[in-house]
Amino acid sequence: MTTQSADSKKTALDAIAVQVNACTACGLHKNRTRGVPGAGPADSEILFIGEGPGFHEDQKGLPFVGQSGKLLEQLLAKIGMNRDQVFIANVVKCRPPENRDPMPDEIATCTSAYLFKQIEILSPKVIVTLGRFSMGLFFPNAKISAIHGKVKWENNRAYLPLYHPAAVLRNMGLMGDMEADFRKIPELIKEHAQRNKPPADDPGSKSGGATGGDENTPKEEPPQQLSLF
Ligand code: SF4
């Protein structure tokens, strides 16, 4: 999947979007106005994963279009980026009623059907989780107050757990931490390039790829499945 062209990735992502909008695999489809599969360029190096659509997202079929989306855009601007450069998705693709938390079975059903496939297609260098449900997919049993901003490298990919923008809007005391954590994103892209640089003093190397032989070695494995519930 990592060698897929941007065009073939877009085709595969578009197919998932069509499936999401027809999906009845869990009860969340009953109240959905529009499914929210995710949005962004197919060749994005960074994937943000939020929790689930809210009212505005459900109306528009797009992720992070309300106040949380505005904050996300402001934070991206502070690191010299905009939302057109990143792919933004959610753990569940349909709005939970009254914005309740998604249930474990809804998360398990939706992630295995869609989010994990999106990750496989996008093959991002950095996955940024927003909030505890997204974090829980990759950092089982962790507490977000303890691990926000602490990077994990796995399968040649960085995982960066951040607070959800809505949590920051509810408690502006978290803004300083959120801004500091966000500043790690461009550093991780640089670090990814460093980790995948062929050794300069090894002209006999035929691999032309990663340094190999340690935890940095790129290898495609399916994303970790849910184990937080
Ligand atoms: S939340 Fe996911 S699994 Fe449930 S109906 Fe929507 S798309 Fe299907």
pLDDT tens for each residue of 40-83: 999 999 999 999 999 999 999 999 999 999 999 999 999 999 99
The domain total for the chain is 1
Share of the chain above pLDDT 90, in %: 83
**How far apart (Å, rounded) are the C-alpha atoms in residues 229 and 211?**
36
Residues with CB under 6 A from ligand 1: 20, 23-26, 28-29, 35, 92-94, 106, 109-110, 113
Beta bridge partners of 152: 159
Q: Which residues contact 36 (CB under 8 A, 6 or more apart)?
A: 20, 52, 53, 57, 58, 61, 62, 63, 90, 93, 94, 95
CA atoms within 13 A on the CB side of 198: 10
Q: Is residue 160 part of a domain?
A: yes
Quick one: pLDDT band at residue 202, thresholds 50, 70, 90?
low
Q: Give CA 75 to chain center in angstroms.
A: 16
**How far apart (Å, rounded) are the C-alpha atoms in residues 221 and 38?**
22
Nearest to 50 by CA among 149, 129, 121, 104: 129
CA atoms within 13 A on the CB side of 166: 12
Ligand 1 atom closest to 109 (CA): 3
Each residue's pLDDT tens digit, 129-147: 999 999 999 999 999 999 9
Question: Which residue's C-alpha comes closest to atom 3 of ligand 1?
Answer: 110
Q: Is residue 186 part of a domain?
A: yes
Q: Is residue 119 part of a domain?
A: yes
Q: What is the CATH number of the domain that holds 152?
A: 3.40.470.10
CA atoms within 13 A on the CB side of 109: 15
Residue 117 domain boundaries: 29-195
Task: Determine how many CB atoms are found less than 10 A away from the CB of residue 218.
Answer: 15
Q: What is the mean pLDDT of residues 189-195?
A: 97
pTM: 0.87
Helix (H, G, I), strand (E, B) or coil at 89: strand
Q: Is residue 46 part of a domain?
A: yes
Q: Is residue 67 part of a domain?
A: yes
pLDDT score for 201: 66
Q: Is residue 222 part of a domain?
A: no
Q: Is residue 42 part of a domain?
A: yes
Least confident of 15-24, 54-63, 192-201: 192-201
Q: Is residue 7 part of a domain?
A: no
**Residue 219 in this model has a pLDDT that exceeds 60:** no
